[in-house]
Amino acid sequence: MARQVAHEIKNPLTPIRLGVQHLRRARADRREDFDAILERNVTRILAEIDRLDEIARSFSKFGTVPGERDPGTPTDVAAVLRDVAALERMGDSGVEWVVEHGDEAAWALSHAEELREVLLNLLENARHANARRVVARIIRTPEHVTIEVEDDGDGIAADVLPRVFEPHFSTRTSGSGLGLAISKRLVDAWGGSIQIGPATPRGTDAQPTDPTAPSDGTKVRVTLVPATSP
């Protein structure tokens, strides 16, 4: 449980760090619009502090079985996705963050703050996989609302894919191995599903590939139950 708490509080710390770095650069560059930059970043930092408080108060939910957790509520998942992508653009990662079909509202069952944690985890995973371009898109059908995140990073080896949702499993030496496990638990609790696979399938029947070789990028699909706006 302590490792899970530590993992969850790391995500709000990322935008706080990015905001402070942005302020330092703006001051060093003697930006004429420094006051506006200061106000914008202070607002963001205070919001992330509020998120830390919310995480501290709500983390006990992770200890309950899915059937005992609050069901998902109608959430504009497109708005949450736009916010998370805007946050990533504040950084100096050199990654191109693209949102497709996210301008219009897309209502589905989830919890906004929890969905934000899920999406931030997915985008951070892409960044850590050395992606240079990440495309997040909203796909709407009568049966589902799907958030698809596709990157051109290092990818995941076929023999590793079955284990990616296991708690404490990570392909990074610095990873806690809890991000995808927690994400799956949250999405499952809303009645949705999460799948991960290669962005570009490798090999053919005639030319089998090494199962330990990473794929060309990664694609994650978060499928949610559609809802009407409240």
Neighbours of 36 (CB within 10 A): 11
The answer on pLDDT for 67 being more than 60 is no
User: What's the whole-model pTM score?
Assistant: 0.70
What percentage of residues in the chain have a pLDDT greater than 70? 78
Res 206: pLDDT: 41
- When comparing pLDDT for 219 and 172, which is higher? 219
Q: What whole-number distance in Å separates Cα of residue 121 and Cα of residue 113?
A: 12
Res 7: pLDDT: 65
pLDDT band at 161 (very low <50, low <70, confident <90, very high): confident
> What is the residue whose two structure tokens read 């509080």?
9
Note the pLDDT tens digit of each residue in 101-125: 999 999 999 999 899 989 998 998 8
- When comparing pLDDT for 76 and 125, which is higher? 76
CA distances for 12 relative to 44, 50, 169, 189, angstroms: 10, 9, 22, 22
Which CATH fold topology does 72-224 show?
A: Heat Shock Protein 90 (3.30.565)
Domain boundaries, given as residue ranges, for the chain: 1-63, 72-224
What percentage of residues in the chain have a pLDDT greater than 90? 47
Which of the residue ranges 128-132, 141-145, 171-175, 183-187 would you say has the lowest mean pLDDT? 171-175
Q: 216 near 200, Cβ under 8 Å?
A: yes
